[in-house]
Every structure is written in C-alpha cells, then in structure tokens.
Structure 1
C-alpha cells in the first residue's frame, strides 16, 4: 500500500491518503466548474478511512450546496486551496488531485458528466504547449 501526502498552498493544512485509489476522475458538471474555476475538477476518490489529517484540520472550511443532494467542497480558510472532504454519507473521501505533494503514478481514468462539459473545453492534446 502506498501513502500519498498533500497540502494546501500556504502549507498550514496537510493530509495523507492511502492508495490505491478507488476512482481517479475529471468531473465536468457545472458545480465542479464553479467550485474549481476551471473546465473540470480532477479528483481522487477513496474510502473515508484512507484519509488522515496531519495538521491544520481546524482550518478546513466545508461548504455543502443546500439545493444539491450530494455536492460539497472544502477549502483552506487561509489560502483558499481546495482540500479533501468526506461525502455526505461519510463512506468516501473526495481528494482534489492538485493538492498532492508528490507524483501519483496514476492518471484520471474517466470523465464524468461529459455531456454537460463547458462548450469552450478543449482536450489538452489539441493545445499548444508553452514552458
């Protein structure tokens, strides 16, 4: 079993997650676009007990969208970085993939809510690369 560490941008919140991941996905729903400010969220899904807070859990703010059956997000209340959160059922943890501090040795294996993707979304292979 591999353990992956992650943190927020300011470094005040840190967590670790046991692999392997149950899912690794890009979610294209309108709620994930709003929450991330991007074309899609990129998330790892694991069983709830695979997530452990190492520091700063008290700085994590959770937002549950009242009109949604299951949508939530969490972030550092100092720097605003997206952070892990448990699903409302408490059975799974959703981990923003960009929050990991090391290579994962894995990549997203699915797009979800593809039919509702942003009309301006362009798959990365068709874009110019700049360093």
Structure 2
C-alpha cells in the first residue's frame, strides 16, 4: 500500500499547539459516528493514522486537554481554542495516533478512502462520492462499494 512520506505540519486554530507527522498510514476515513459529529460540530470528521514513531508534538503539548468517552476512546484538543487534533481508540493505544486532517496546514498526497460509521450518520448528510461506506468500522458490513 502506498504511504505518504513527506513532512506534514498542523495545529490548532489559536496556534498554541503544533505537531509534525512524517508518514501517514494507508487508511484515511470520514467518520460519521455521533461522537465525531458532536466533537467536530460537523456532519463527519476525517482522520488519518500515523504511527507514533512518525509523529511528534512540536509546540504546546501541555496546552492539550483530553476527553475520554464512555467507550474508552480519547480525543485530544487545544484547551484554549477547542480545536480537535487527535483521536485514539483507547487511553492505552500508543502505537498509532489518528490526526484530525482538518488541522493540517498543507495538502495530502492521498485522499480519504472510506466512510465509516455511516449507520449512525446525520439524516441530513448526503454522501455524494463513490467511496465505500461501512455501517461501523472497516471490519463491518460494507453498505456500498465503489462503482
């Protein structure tokens, strides 16, 4: 699978928190779960996975706050401006960090390749691209396949 291999930087709206990533993993997805919708205030959130060895906070890590949801997922955000920056499937997940792609400063070389958790998407959201749509995570039932 192709992976991005250049330096990416991003950060929060107020600029107090900055990060760098050197390589995104293959999967990038638009997540339509109710928690992502509420946390981002949007129809979905788009994440890209980065191995911890390819990621670092370059400024303001102490300015991050974290919210651990009842299901164990952890969302990190700037405690000053509220920008959503990362997601982890649990507090113990240390191998991979998922970056909120909306916080990047530059373009990606690859685009998201799926919609996940569309079984709980907002009823007013219309998915109009041809990416595969999964009821839950990628291991769940695929509701549509690319044409």
Corresponding position of 1:72? 74
From 81, 84, 90, the counterpart of 1:82: 84
- Is the contact made by 1:47 and 1:92 (CA closer than 8 Å) also made in structure 2? yes
Corresponding position of 1:128? none
After TM superposition, give the deviation of residue 84 of structure 1 in Å. 2.3
User: Unpaired segments of 5 or more residues in structure 1?
Assistant: 126-131
Q: Deviations over 1:28-71 (max 9, x none)?
A: 11111111111111111121222101100000101111x21x42
1:120 aligned onto 2:130: no
Corresponding position of 1:14? 18
- RMSD (Å), alpha carbons: 1.6
Residue correspondences, number: 123
User: Unpaired segments of 5 or more residues in structure 2?
Assistant: 130-147
After alignment, is 13-22 or 84-93 more displaced?
A: 84-93
If the length of structure 1 is used for normalisation, what is the TM-score? Answer: 0.86
- Is the contact made by 1:62 and 1:85 (CA closer than 8 Å) also made in structure 2? no
Question: Aligned with 1:15: secondary structure?
Answer: strand
Corresponding position of 2:38? 34
Structure with more contact order per residue of length (Cα contacts < 8 Å, sep ≥ 6): 1
